[in-house]
A and B are shown apart, each in its own frame.
Chain A
Amino acid sequence: MTTLRAGWIITQRDLAHWVRQPWGPIFGLLFSIMLLLVFGFLFGGAIQVPGGGDYIAFLLPGMLALSMMFGVEATATAMGADARKGITDRFRSMPIGNAAVALGRVGADMTTSAAELSVLLAGGLLIGWRITSDPGPAALAVLLLLLLRFAVLWIGIFLGLTFRGDGATAAVQVLVWPIGFLSTAIVSAETMPGWLGALASWNPLSATATATRDLFGNPSGVTGGILADHALLMAFLWPLVITAVFMPLSARAYRRLRT
């Protein structure tokens, strides 16, 4: 039994959840679409994009990045629930590789997020958002979004294994909001007070949002500063740094179940 095969079987288990209980993912999607509509049409009229450009065109890549980051919640919740209900212990008592449980989570969450991304992209096209660049850069943008999802997946696995109580899930659900909003996902950092804007520019989410805008040929709302020069590089580096930190931490948390 290879670890990869076991991981794939655990992934299939999660995908089978979709078929049995489609409402969870559907509500997740509806929520993202609702956010898109609220910001795009309710608040959007009052928002100016620095450097010019249509707000919907600015907003959509930001919402895509935001929904990738919010995925941390789903990962941590699923991981914590399995640990709490003894399913993780059952997996651990079976002759499968140590990495299989995490691999299964990665497979399931990446598939879910890719599907979510497709629906949001289609939704964006429906409300008038357009890709104005070439297919190459556009594909790279999608790749960067999935890279961010991959990185926060490891944060979610770490949190889910470390804090197994329901309270921890609630904490993650609350904390993603300030972290999500303190970025350039919804408004440009240049409209914020100086220090706050600087902070937001260093948010990994901002790097992905800005790089994605550039690659889709959408207005970036950036006229200067670190994001103007290095958004693409940062959109690669941040997820790699997060992964490099949280993948070993997750492995350690899994080993610590043995204590």
Chain B
Amino acid sequence: MHTLIAQGLRKRYGDLHALDGFDLTVDAGVIHGLLGPNGAGKTTAVKALATLIDVDEGAATVAGHDVRTRSAQVRRQIGLIGQHAAVDEILGGRQNLVMFGRLYGLAKTAARARADELLDTFGLLDAADRAVSTYSGGMRRRLDIAAGLILTPAVLFLDEPTTGLDPRARNEVWRTIRETAARGTTVLLTTQYLDEADQLAAEISVMNHGRIIATGAPDDLKRRIGGDRVIVTVPPRDSLPAVAAKLSCTVDEDTRTVTVEAPLRTVVRALDELGVEPDDLVLRRPTLDEVFLTLTEKEQIR
């Protein structure tokens, strides 16, 4: 079953086409990653699906409700976690959750019970009565996510949830997102990081210039993008052109490195045959830049 369906969404801001024929379907209970660079239209897409903005054209349904005509019903089914942790910094964590719970229509006692439950789930019970301004970035984000889960929504929107967090906080937030999805909530997550989409999402849509240019499981996409890169630093005693000739690669003469798009084993064997002992050898994933270059090139050829 499709929990999220967007068809042909268009949204213009002056000359900028923030959404330019945006289509998306997301199945119930999965984490879907919306991957794209700054300005690709990710936030606009999330805001349109979360009933915060009106689109110029197109239609979307969330949990079976049209976002335009039945926004009140949609709002009962969603949690929205924006780019900033939208919690009250002066109040405590518990006060925040009780306030949002009551705004979601819970009675005082029910709101308190739900707040305690969420504080416990998100590991915030110890800090429940401290002002949120004293929280770490990861704690603040977890509270933010908890506030979006008060009514156990069908869909949770997360707009770049780990931007600006340190690695440890990022891991905390990732765990929270996984646990949320495991409890049956559909998650639409926007991110600029391939790594993050890879870690969390069962399905990834790559977005550029207001529309989706590729969708698939992370492994599918990576196959389409090409495999891992091996970066070899060639020592001064060896010939850079010789290595370049042996391996099909791009050469950077300044840093004496070659970047090879081939399995590590093949590269190591080739170097061995040449008798080259590299100064450094790095294995890395395709970067987002490379994903885009590859996908947008393919898009143009098609």
Q: Tally inter-chain residue pairs, CB-CB below 8 A.
A: 72
Cα distance A13–B96 in the bound complex, in angstroms:
9
Taking CB atoms, residues of chain B closer than 8 Å to A100 are 103
Taking CB atoms, residues of chain A closer than 8 Å to B75 are 93-95
Specify which of A16, A21, A90, A100 lies most central, judged by the most chain B CB atoms within 10 Å of its CB.
A90
CB <8 Å contact, A20 and B52 = no
List the A residue with the shortest CB-CB distance to B78.
A93
B47-106 contacts to A (CB < 8 Å): 47, 50-54, 72, 75-76, 78-80, 82-92, 95, 99-100, 102-105
CB <8 Å contact, A92 and B52 = yes
List the B residue with the shortest CB-CB distance to A21.
B90
> Does A54 belong to the interface (CB within 8 Å)?
no
CB <8 Å contact, B103 and A85 = no
For residue B94, give the distance in angstroms from its CB to the closest CB of chain A. 11
Q: Please tell me which one of the listed residues A86, A87, A95 contacts residue B105 in the complex, with CB atoms under 8 A apart.
A: A95
Taking CB atoms, residues of chain A closer than 8 Å to B90 are 16-17, 20-21
CB <8 Å contact, A259 and B53 = yes
Question: How many interface residues does chain A have, given as a range?
Answer: 20 to 34
CB <8 Å contact, B103 and A94 = yes
A5-42 contacts to B (CB < 8 Å): 6, 9-10, 12-13, 16-17, 20-21
Cα distance A12–B100 in the bound complex, in angstroms:
12
Cα distance A115–B297 in the bound complex, in angstroms:
65
> How many B residues touch A, CB cutoff 8 Å?
32
For residue A78, give the distance in angstroms from its CB to the closest CB of chain B. 11
B113-168 contacts to A (CB < 8 Å): 131, 147
CB <8 Å contact, B91 and A17 = yes
Q: Please tell me which one of the listed residues B51, B84, B88, B91 contacts residue A93 in the complex, with CB atoms under 8 A apart.
A: B51
CB <8 Å contact, A95 and B50 = no
Specify which of A85, A86, A100, A259 lies most central, judged by the most chain B CB atoms within 10 Å of its CB.
A86
Cα distance A91–B80 in the bound complex, in angstroms:
10
Taking CB atoms, residues of chain B closer than 8 Å to A13 are 88, 91, 99
CB <8 Å contact, B105 and A1 = yes
CB <8 Å contact, B53 and A258 = yes
Cα distance A16–B91 in the bound complex, in angstroms:
7
> Does A96 belong to the interface (CB within 8 Å)?
yes
List the A residue with the shortest CB-CB distance to B95.
A16
Cα distance A17–B131 in the bound complex, in angstroms:
10
For residue A24, give the distance in angstroms from its CB to the closest CB of chain B. 9
What sequence of 0s and 1s flags, for each residue 16-52 of chain B, a beta carbon within 8 Å of any chain A beta carbon?
0000000000000000000000000000000100111
With A16-B91, A16-B95 as given contacts, are A89 and B52 in contact (CB-CB < 8 Å)?
Answer: yes
CB <8 Å contact, A95 and B104 = yes
CB <8 Å contact, A96 and B50 = no
**DSSP class of A's interface residues: helix, strand, loop or mixed?**
helix
Cα distance A27–B147 in the bound complex, in angstroms:
32
Taking CB atoms, residues of chain A closer than 8 Å to B76 are 95
For residue B199, give the distance in angstroms from its CB to the closest CB of chain A. 24
Cα distance A258–B53 in the bound complex, in angstroms:
4
Taking CB atoms, residues of chain A closer than 8 Å to B50 are 93
> Does A241 belong to the interface (CB within 8 Å)?
no
> Does A257 belong to the interface (CB within 8 Å)?
yes
For residue A234, give the distance in angstroms from its CB to the closest CB of chain B. 39
Taking CB atoms, residues of chain B closer than 8 Å to A21 are 90
List the B residue with the shortest CB-CB distance to A5.
B102
Taking CB atoms, residues of chain A closer than 8 Å to B79 are 93
Cα distance A29–B88 in the bound complex, in angstroms:
24
A-side interface residues toward B, CB under 8 Å? 1, 6, 9-10, 12-13, 16-17, 20-21, 85-87, 89-96, 100, 257-259
Q: Top 4 nearest A-B pairs by Cβ distance?
A: A86-B86, A93-B80, A86-B82, A90-B86
- Could you list 18 examples of A-B contacts with CB < 8 Å? A12-B99, A16-B91, A21-B90, A85-B84, A86-B83, A86-B86, A87-B87, A90-B82, A93-B51, A93-B78, A94-B75, A94-B104, A95-B75, A100-B103, A257-B53, A258-B54, A259-B53, A259-B54
B-side interface residues toward A, CB under 8 Å? 47, 50-54, 72, 75-76, 78-80, 82-92, 95, 99-100, 102-105, 131, 147
Known interface pairs A17-B91, A85-B84, A96-B103; 17 further A-B residue pairs with C-beta atoms within 8 A, sorted by A's residue number: A13-B91, A13-B99, A16-B90, A20-B90, A85-B89, A86-B82, A86-B83, A86-B84, A86-B86, A90-B80, A93-B78, A93-B79, A94-B100, A94-B104, A257-B53, A258-B52, A258-B54
